[in-house]
Amino acid sequence: MRVFEPAGHGSSIEGLWRAAATGRLSHALLFEGPRGIGKFAAALWFTAGLLCRAGPGRPCLVCPGCKQLAAGDWRGGHADFLRIDPVEEGWDEIPVSAIAERAGERSSVQSLSSFLSLKALESDRRVVVVREAERLNEHAQNALLKTLEEPAPGTVLVLECSRPLELLPTVRSRTVRLAFAPPGRAVALAVLEDAGAPRSTAEALVELTDGSPGESLRLLRQGADSMLELWDRIFAPGSDTLACAGALWELEGDFGDGSALAVSRRRLALFLELGTALVHRARRVAVGAGAEESAQGAGAGALAALVRDGERAAAVRFHRLVDRRRDVDHNLDPGAVLELALLDVRAGARGLP
C-alpha cells in the first residue's frame, strides 16, 4: 500500500498527531471536503503517524510499523489497520457486511466490528479508515453507530467523505469534523506535470476541477484531454454533430472493469461533466467573473464559442447538460443520451422563452 505525505494538508495532520500525543484525540474523525483534494491520502498519512514506532507524529517510514503498513496490496500489511475501500473493492455502495456481521451471512471481507473485537497486536491503537464514506448504505451507517457510541479502547476511526450530507445526522454528530480545502492551483499543476501532462492540458484540467489534484489526475487517466478536444470539434464551424458523437466511443481512457454498457455510461458521464464544466466557466467569463484569455490548449475552442454566444445561451446549455447527466444515472441508453445532449448544446438558447 502506498503511503505518502499529501501536499497542502500537513498542518491539519500535525495537529491531530499532537492531540494523539496528549491523549486528546477523538476516536471518530470525519475528513470532509471536495473530491480529489487529498483527503484520503491525508487519512493514510495520519494513520502512518499513529502506527509508527516513533509516533504519534511524522512517520519515519523505516520502522517495522511503517513498513508493515506500506506492505502488501492496497489493504496494507499492518495487523492493527483496516481499510474499507469501495473504490478498490468495486462497490457502488459500502454494504452492512463491511461494518458488522449478520447471523447466517458470510462475507469475503473482514468487518469493522470483527476487526475491532480483537486486541491491538503491534501498537496501542486499532485504526480504521473508510474511503468515500458517503457510499455507506443506510443499514451500514446504522450499524456503524454502535462503534461511534461505544468505541473499544484505542479505537481510531477515520471517515473520508466528499458529500457529508449523505451521511445520517446521527453519524455526523458523533464525529469530529475536519474540513479540507484544495491545496491550490500551483500544487495541482505540479502534480499533473509530474504525471506527464503537457502544461496546456494541466492548466485546463486544474481550471475544470477548481485546483483538485486527485480529480485532475482521474480526468487525465480517463482521457479528459481527448474529450476536451472533442468538445472543440463539436463547437467548430460546420461540425458534424453525429460524427462527433460517434468519436466519443473510440477515445482511450481508463474507466475500470465492468460490462461494455457500464463502461459506456462512465465514459459518457465524464464527457458530460466536462461539457458542464466548460459551460459553467463560459458563464463566469460572460459576466466578467472569469478570464477567457487564460484559456489555452484542449477545450479552449469550445470555451471561446460558448463565451461568444453569451450568458443566456450558456445558462440554457448548462441546465440541459445537467439534465442529460441525470439521464445517465437513470440508466437511459448512452448513445441516445449523447446525441440528445449534443443537439441540445448545439441549439443553444433557440426555441426557449
Question: For residues 245 and 343, what is the distance between their CA atoms, to the nearest angstrom?
Answer: 10
On whether residue 185 sits in a domain, the answer given is no
Asked if 245 and 164 sit in the same domain, the reply is no
The alpha helices in 150-259, defined as continuous H runs, are 169-172, 185-194, 199-208, 213-221, 224-234, 241-248
Provide the residue range defining the domain that includes 242.
222-347
* pLDDT at site 290: 60
Q: What does the DSSP assignment read for 241-285?
A: HHHHHHHHTTS-----SS-HHHHHHHHHHHHHHHHHHHHHHHHHH
- What H or E segment, with its residue span, contains residue 112? helix 112-116
Question: For residues 263 and 159, what is the distance between their CA atoms, to the nearest angstrom?
Answer: 28
Closest CA to 284 of 306, 251, 316, 262: 306
On whether residue 196 sits in a domain, the answer given is no
Give all strands (DSSP E) within the chain, no chain letters: 28-32, 81-84, 126-130, 155-161, 176-179
- What contacts 24+ positions apart, CB below 8 Å, involve 82-85? 82/110, 82/112, 82/115, 82/126, 82/127, 82/128, 82/129, 83/1, 83/128, 83/129, 83/131, 84/109, 84/112, 84/128, 84/129, 84/130, 84/131, 85/131
* pLDDT at site 351: 46
Q: Measure the CA dihedral 103/137/134/143, to 10°.
A: -40
Last residue of a domain, one of 179, 208, 238: 179
Asked if 170 and 244 sit in the same domain, the reply is no
The per-residue pLDDT for range 194-214, each reduced to its tens digit, is 888 888 778 778 877 878 888
On whether residue 5 sits in a domain, the answer given is no
The radius of gyration computed from the CA coordinates of the chain, to the nearest angstrom, equals 23
On whether residue 198 sits in a domain, the answer given is no
Closest CA to 214 of 82, 33, 69, 72: 33
Give the CA distances from residue 306 to residues 23, 300, 315, in Å, rounded to whole numbers and listed in that order: 56, 10, 10
* pLDDT at site 106: 65
30 bridge partner residues? 159, 177
Asked if 133 and 228 sit in the same domain, the reply is no
Asked if 20 and 162 sit in the same domain, the reply is yes
Last residue of a domain, one of 179, 213, 235: 179
* pLDDT at site 139: 94
| Residue 53 belongs to domain with CATH number | 3.40.50.300
On whether residue 332 sits in a domain, the answer given is yes
* pLDDT at site 202: 83
155 bridge partner residues? 126
| Residue 255 belongs to domain with CATH number | 1.20.272
* pLDDT at site 293: 47
> Tell me, what amino acid is at 6?
P
On whether residue 59 sits in a domain, the answer given is yes
SS3 state of residue 179: strand
Question: For residues 185 and 181, what is the distance between their CA atoms, to the nearest angstrom?
Answer: 12
Q: Measure the CA dihedral 300/302/304/309, to 10°.
A: -170
The per-residue pLDDT for range 254-297, each reduced to its tens digit, is 887 778 898 899 999 989 988 888 888 888 887 776 655 455 67
* pLDDT at site 295: 55
Encode the chain (353 residues) as per-residue pLDDT tens digits: 989 888 778 888 999 999 999 999 999 999 999 888 889 999 999 999 999 999 899 999 999 999 999 998 999 999 999 999 998 998 989 999 999 987 556 667 899 999 999 888 988 899 999 999 999 999 999 999 988 998 888 999 999 999 999 999 999 999 999 999 888 888 888 888 888 888 877 877 887 787 888 888 888 888 888 998 999 999 888 888 888 889 999 998 888 777 889 889 999 998 998 888 888 888 888 777 665 545 567 788 888 888 888 888 888 888 888 889 989 888 889 999 999 898 888 776 454 44
Q: How many structural domains does the chain have? A: 2
Number of other residues whose CB lies within 10 A of the CB of residue 288: 8
* pLDDT at site 279: 87
Q: Please, how many CA atoms are within 13 Å of residue 180, restricted to the half-sphere of its CB?
A: 33
